Structure 1
């Protein structure tokens, strides 16, 4: 019997009787991070990193039963040892290490190998079996250092200010938005935000995170306040009436998908910044190598291509179908 199994409800540990990031309600759910494709409502009990607890409560409801643990702290379920280790994806994200006797599996959830300056930096965890995401599992995805990207964003904002335009950046309310705010907090006199961004930012500030204070955009916010300032919104705000209030504005999209020509045009963006909270091709390869895994399971993204590459390079690998990788939610958050 495998220590972890892939079922129609999610990644299951039969001996420990718990699931990792289940996509159906279960009794015990161990959560890698609070994005909606990995943390879904309806389960009876949740286990996650301490920093994910308030985010889960914000997203799944304040009355959920959730236990938070520190990185490296061990929990035992029916003799199975569980510990959480930094994934570097977003605040509170973790890789789940599962061990029984001398067998060790690691479910990575989502991760990136470059330290973003705010979430805990990725740490490879030695194991025999590694379950890896493959969101950007093709050689064409090769990120520049984030400082280069932020320098480019700063230059773009400066040019917009010189032209009397509002700079509107789109990025997910959990992860991308915090990186933008942390690294661009002094870029304009004021930073305005969509409700989805504002609510998450306020909650994190209340829990001690060093993030700038935002101004929430409401239907009553006067048009004049946006000129020469920065606005941050979720990807779902693109091509909606919400955008019209900023005219004249320039729209920038922050995403790893901007690496591929044509994505910026399809998003009707004026600028595309290649900024991702996922590992690029080299990051995925370095993570796999650092674990020393004897077997790799590839999930969500270019999982087939990445598994084939590993196989061709002497690493046993197998693609697994999951329900991860669905666009991280924004539509249900208030504007």
Structure 2
């Protein structure tokens, strides 16, 4: 029914509906969002570029700034948008944020519909990238006054969520400063916590500190992967993705929660259901080793909400049962939930 409804909308809207999303480049000195792009789901991931050109009428306009294909089992997604250069420079690049993608291919067809793709791969040789950055950056050669139609094909071993912007080289440099500082500061704080708690563990021999170190270590690795820095320095790690890191982080946080809050004494209900929570994260972990990455990330997206509830409920129950350090636990993991929500909104293009 949904596909029939979309087809009727295309007929009613007329040819204008099928036009690509227009991205107008100007000299205002600001990056330009490639929001609300048209997209085509490539279920089996085997469509050629020429086949896609013949399916222009099948592209659907996104209803949100950055379409989110979490839970979608398509093996590849094609994006389509028009770039109109009203600036005085040809120094334009397409920047795709994050390290989720396994492969990204940009096609800029000529008037005859012929195009040689620019290809960036997560596990390819980093030295072959035209711009050596932790994000995926493509050169878009469009002359002043010229218009080109861009087709971008992406596939992923986790989720497909392409946050795209058009930037000049100067803007690429200037905007990277703040993001690099943010990721660097967050990693430095986490590393300091890791080293401090590791020192305390060797001093006191209390396992709760080691449990916390395990969680922090996995947190650092996953953030480095998502931001693209892990693949930047270690391209061979591309086979390890979020469908492995997130379940491991979930398991480590469950161990730390029960250890720090002493749930056996202060939150017996939480202690009893700990194995049920563990099994919830064993499921996507099993899917990872079976190669079902897209299904695994869909399951993770659901069980993470259960984990957030588990953290906060455990902390509140322990605090109400007179374990006062639980207040710090709730504050810390509460801040983590809020900040990760903000990061997700940023990736989706809702927040700058």
Is this a same-fold pair by TM over 0.5? no
Structure ranking higher in helix proportion: 2
Q: For the superposition of Structure 1 and Structure 2, which TM-score range results when normalised by the shorter chain?
A: 0.3 to 0.5
Q: Which has the larger radius of gyration?
A: 2
Structure ranking higher in strand proportion: 1
